[in-house]
Structure 1
Amino acid sequence: MPKIVDPEARRRAVAQAVLTVVARHGLEHASLRNVAEEAGLAIGSIRHYFADHDELMTFTMRELSRRIGERIRTHAERLLAPDADIDRRAATEELLAEFLPLDDTRREEAVLWITFTAATHTRAELRPHAAEMQQDMHALIVRVLSEAQRMGGLPAGLDADLEAHRLAALLDGLTLQAALLPDRMPPEQQRQVLRRHLDALTSGR
């Protein structure tokens, strides 16, 4: 009896092979041949699931985003639940910390995300998803800040939209520094910078 293959699971396995190749050798080495070799498949099998190299790269970027997003959504659902009996300040910090490379997994994801977003300069097919990811991040931070305002944890006059841009810029900057220079920006220092920024927001400074 022929083996039944889950197409979506196979596509995700191929995307993982792309990520492995990119993490080791860079995006320029993620050819169909190298990806097929990493995945243990024939090139023809890769072409069965992806029309071309551009589609494969776009799917891989979305898969990376999906993995990051799933962790963030878990924190967001807990924090934004209307009847949540939690320390909201601590929960907010933990949610935002998911954007930072605080362990090996998140550091590798950060390096991969930086690699893919840098490639949008020359690979137009990747730009829409990079923009979508940034928009989703901004919308989530606005929701978190607005809810904190509603609960009295932040000053009522705070411009949530502007502060979301500031916070996103801080997270992006910390991620870039920690991914490229991990010895100069270790996890605890990243947390300290984030915590100091949240303290300033709380006090209205």
Structure 2
Amino acid sequence: MPKIVDPVARRRAVAEAVLSVVARHGLERASLRNVADEAGLAIGSVRHYFADHDALMIFTMRELSRRISERVRVHAERLLAPDGCTDRRAATEQLLAEFLPLDDTRREEAALWLAFTAAAHTRPELLSCAAEMQQDMHSLVSRVLHEAQHTGGLPDNLDVELESKRLAALLEGLTVQAALLPGRFPPELLRQVLRRHLDALKSSG
């Protein structure tokens, strides 16, 4: 009997090969040939699942986004559940910290995401995915702050929409700095900056 191949699993495996190539050599080296070699496949097999190189890059970018989003969702569901959680302040910090490069996995993801978003400036096929993920992150930050205000954790007169944008910009800026200069922005410093910002929000308004 011919071997049954799960097309979703195969596409994700090829995307993982792309990420491995990009992590080691940069996005410009993620050719179909190099990706096929990394995945241990014939180049024709890669073409069977992706119409062209652009389709492969778009899928890989969305796969990276999915991987990050699934991890964040675990924290979001606990924090934003109807019955709430016992320590909202700690849960909020844990959720937002998932966007920061605090360990090897998240540092690699941050570097990969920066590579793809930088490429989106000259490769418009990647731009919509970059914009979607940024919007998803901003929407989640806004929802978290609105919920904190609703439950009394933030002042009633706080401009939540403005503060959401400021907090999202802080997270993005810390991620860029830590991805480029990890020695100057170690995990504990990133946590301290985030913690200080959240503490300051409580006295804002």
TM-score, normalising length: structure 2:
0.99
Alpha-carbon separation, structure 1, partners of 2:169 and 2:141: 12
Alpha-carbon separation, structure 2, partners of 1:85 and 1:159: 24
Whichever residue aligns with residue 128 of structure 1, its letter is: S
Residue 93 (structure 1) aligns with: 93
Shift of residue 203 of structure 1? 1.1
Higher mean C-alpha deviation, range 184-193 or range 153-162: 153-162
Q: Secondary structure at the match of 1:112?
A: helix
Shift of residue 204 of structure 1? 1.1
Whichever residue aligns with residue 125 of structure 2, its letter is: E
**Does the 8 Å contact 2:120/2:127 carry over to 1?**
yes
Matches within 5 A, 1:26-175: 26-175=26-175
Shift of residue 86 of structure 1? 1.9
Alpha-carbon separation, structure 2, partners of 1:7 and 1:86: 42
Shift of residue 85 of structure 1? 3.1
Alpha-carbon separation, structure 2, partners of 1:105 and 1:4: 31
Residue 7 (structure 1) aligns with: 7
Structure 1: segments with no counterpart, 5+ residues = none
Structure 2: segments with no counterpart, 5+ residues = none
Whichever residue aligns with residue 137 of structure 2, its letter is: M
**Does the 8 Å contact 2:65/2:133 carry over to 1?**
yes
Deviations 1:159-178 (CA, angstroms, capped at 9, x unpaired): 11111110011001110111
Q: What is the aligned residue count?
A: 205
**Does the 8 Å contact 2:58/2:126 carry over to 1?**
yes
Give RMSD over aligned pairs: 0.7
Shift of residue 84 of structure 1? 2.2
Alpha-carbon separation, structure 2, partners of 1:177 and 1:147: 29
Deviations 1:11-66 (CA, angstroms, capped at 9, x unpaired): 00000000000000000000000000000001100000000000000000000000
* In the alignment, structure 1 residue 202 sits paired with structure 2 residue 199: no
Aligned sequence identity (%): 79
Whichever residue aligns with residue 75 of structure 2, its letter is: H
Runs (4 or more) in structure 1 with deviation over 6 Å come to none
Alpha-carbon separation, structure 2, partners of 1:162 and 1:123: 30
